[in-house]
Structure 1
Amino acid sequence: MRSESDLERITRQLKLTGRKDFSLCLYGPPGTGKSAYVRHLAETLDLPVVMKRASDLFDAYVGQTEKSIAKAFQEALDKGAFLVFDEADSLLGDRRYAVRNWEVSQVNEMLTWMENHPLPFACTTNLMDRLDQASLRRFTFKCHFDYLGEEQLGLAFERFFGMSATVGQLEGLIGLTPGDFALVDKKARIIGCEEDQNLLIDLLKQELAAKEHRPGRQMGFSRD
């Protein structure tokens, strides 16, 4: 993952203080390490993880999605767990653009629980701009995850493939994520080219070419 914020410091301080009354909004392109970081944080704090995808909570019947949201928070309380909502933009959509009553009520349910939940929770999203404005005030930390920079590309290449590559060899690959490296590593092992540096670089280039988006802003965090 790429970070200009000191996520290690955040993790270290939370471990040191033992505080549980905090929350995070982790946002940025897919594959940039949002879920990996929150799992690392939970492990550091010695907390189990309750992971919920928005698609798992939706129900066709009116009022049932709100009940599923409440059950998710209650499950985290019962287990003393770190609660994580993936695809959070689907649960916290901006109410200004709601066209159905249930779209408002499910956001209200989320906001109420977020305000009063005493344990850590995190929301991950690829679509930060779609979140309801009131939800942003309820996140202690808002962390933007971005594509890997030049230095991070070299580190990722060594970590995933066990060999080094120069900046020149990796030139033009800005736009990749740790998820892309993991995918290429899996592909290379299947086709038996995990030790062919040139082919690994070619496979990374293919992943980059397949992307529809290019790098956005740099990653950072703010504390409200």
Structure 2
Amino acid sequence: MDDQYDQTSLDERTPFHRMVSKAHDNAQTIQLELDWLQQILKARSAINANPGSGSAELLQIPAPDLSGYDSTYADLVRELHLGPAERFLIILAAVPHIRPQLLDMFMSRNQITQQIYTEFGGRKGKSHNGFIPTGETVLFILAGNDLKKRFLYQNLLDANGILFKENILRLSEVETDESFLNGALIISREVLDQITIGKVQKPPFSSEFPAQRLQTPLDWEDLVLPEETWIHLRELEVWLKHKDFLMKEWGMSRILKPGYKALFFGPPGTGKTLTAALLGKKMNLDVYRIDLSRLVSKYIGETEKNLSKVFDRAEKQGWILFFDEADALFGKRTSVSDAHDRYANQEVSYLLQRIEDYDGLVILATNLKNNLDDAFMRRFQASVFFPVPQAEERFLLWKKGFPEKAKLESKVDLASIAASHELSGGVIINVIQHSLLMALENEEKIVQLEDIREGIRREYQKVGRTI
């Protein structure tokens, strides 16, 4: 198989060929790093077996030369100028995901306590039966019982180190009365994907990750909005296009806070969610909708954890974050009358801080602007109103909504319908769907005026109105 891809020029390769080729290149360099790590682990094991042999400098074991390799991992090493110490941390953190059996040596038990040796550190996952390295594991491998080396190598785990500043690695949280070195050494999912399969996987929507990617088959030209709304959206588009130049080249990071916060407000069905999806599509950015009903947990502290998972992924990928029905969590804060109120307000404060620090675009959508807390309103750079469309805009929505192949009976006057019925875009689509379904039931498959009227009647009934 390798020869087959070697004989195929890069231009001729399909996306699948390129994916297999990248995985092949990554596998070569990762295997070199794993072999190197195994040498280090064997050296540590030998020192433990013969304590009188002294304390060797294990990072002096030569790391593989990756200068001639074209892989994501080799690119990462070159781009960040990573030395042996940083490479050791990355490959150790990646081992549970790539070759977990390599760490089985740490699963041996102390014959006296019948537990894993304390000095090994390590954790066991909820479903992972293997050994998950911690900060203690790092220091045990590199320093053993040498306190001087232990204190020296502890600097590798400092939050200001390159791997931690770039969110490539992190130590998981521990209880406040425990050593931070007991935190598991975790590699970011994005980096793990890049150095293995060669592309970042889209995170699936789940209770563990309460955010869902927004996508639409529609295009920017399908959006029907008033001119004033377009002007505000243009500013968001310009910011996404030039934010790096603004903040770095013109040095506005000294004055402006990171990121851009926008409020989309207006009645249901006026295009707030669609606009967010189309903005991301136009700017080639992923848009993730935050499900606030899943985000807010009845368990104290879980909301912050769920939020952290979303923001940590988003910050690395530059996603647009879209909070729908924002007043569910961003509404006016309650007075503190009990512990539940106090924790609820803490959750809001935590979310405020994460939004404040987020370097990308955050969009909050609500039907009722007045329900939002004043503290949030002061933080928006843009407040975009999505009104119920006027007659001319409604006509465009009716016209664009019906497929070109659909035939309307001669009595259907879309301009007259648009002028007579004040409906949002979402409601108009509901009516169009009803009339199309009814048309499929008749032999001529022609959209009838009466079916359109019936669809409008049904939508009015939903909100207690009559046609």
TM-score tier (shorter): 0.7 to 0.9
Number of residue pairs aligned between Structure 1 and Structure 2? 213
Which deviations, in whole Å up to 9, do the C-alpha atoms of 1:150-193 show, x marking residues without a partner?
A: 1011101100125783543433311x111112212222232226
Residues 22, 119 of structure 1: 8 Å contact kept: yes
Match for residue 310 of structure 2? 72
Query: Is the partner of 1:139 in helix, strand or coil?
Result: coil
Map 1:49-88; keep pairs closer than 5 Å: 49-88=287-326
Q: CA deviation at 1:10?
A: 2.8
Task: List runs of 5+ in structure 2 lacking aligned partners.
Answer: 1-223, 245-257
The CA distance in 2 between the partners of 1:71 and 1:12, in whole Å, is 26
Q: Are positions 1:40 and 2:278 aligned together?
A: yes
Distance 1:23 1:169, change over 3 A: same
Match for residue 435 of structure 2? 188
Structure number with higher relative contact order (C-alpha < 8 Å, ≥ 6 residues apart):
1
Distance 1:16 1:66, change over 3 A: closer
The CA distance in 2 between the partners of 1:67 and 1:90, in whole Å, is 18
Distance 1:139 1:197, change over 3 A: farther
Map 1:111-122; keep pairs closer than 5 Å: 111-122=352-363
Residues 434, 451 of structure 2: 8 Å contact kept: no
Match for residue 171 of structure 1? 419
Q: Show structure 1 runs of 4+ deviating over 4 A.
A: 96-99
Q: Are positions 1:102 and 2:339 aligned together?
A: no
Q: Which has the larger radius of gyration?
A: 2
- Per mean C-alpha deviation after superposition, the further-off stretch among 9-18 and 98-107 is 9-18
Give the residue type in structure 2 aligned to 1:85: F
Residues 180, 204 of structure 1: 8 Å contact kept: no
The CA distance in 1 between the partners of 2:397 and 2:446, in whole Å, is 15
Residues 2, 149 of structure 1: 8 Å contact kept: no
Residues 161, 185 of structure 1: 8 Å contact kept: yes
Normalising by the residue count of structure 2, what TM-score does the alignment of the two structures yield? 0.42
Query: Is the partner of 2:331 in helix, strand or coil?
Result: coil
Normalising by the residue count of structure 1, what TM-score does the alignment of the two structures yield? 0.83
Give the residue type in structure 2 aligned to 1:111: L
Q: CA deviation at 1:42?
A: 1.1
Distance 1:197 1:13, change over 3 A: farther
Match for residue 255 of structure 2? none
Distance 1:133 1:116, change over 3 A: same
The CA distance in 2 between the partners of 1:209 and 1:97, in whole Å, is 38
Match for residue 222 of structure 1? none
Match for residue 218 of structure 1? none
Match for residue 137 of structure 1? 378
The CA distance in 2 between the partners of 1:103 and 1:8, in whole Å, is 32
Give the residue type in structure 1 aligned to 2:463: E
The alignment-based identity, stated in percent, is 26
1:146 pairs with one of 353, 372, 387:
387
The CA distance in 2 between the partners of 1:152 and 1:108, in whole Å, is 40
Residues 270, 388 of structure 2: 8 Å contact kept: yes
The CA distance in 1 between the partners of 2:285 and 2:334, in whole Å, is 36
The CA distance in 1 between the partners of 2:259 and 2:232, in whole Å, is 17
Q: Which has the higher helix share?
A: 2
Q: CA deviation at 1:205?
A: 2.7
Which deviations, in whole Å up to 9, do the C-alpha atoms of 1:172-223 show, x marking residues without a partner?
A: 311x111112212222232226742513540453145225389xxxxxxxxx
Query: Is the partner of 1:146 in helix, strand or coil?
Result: coil
Task: List runs of 5+ in structure 1 lacking aligned partners.
Answer: 215-224
Match for residue 205 of structure 1? 456
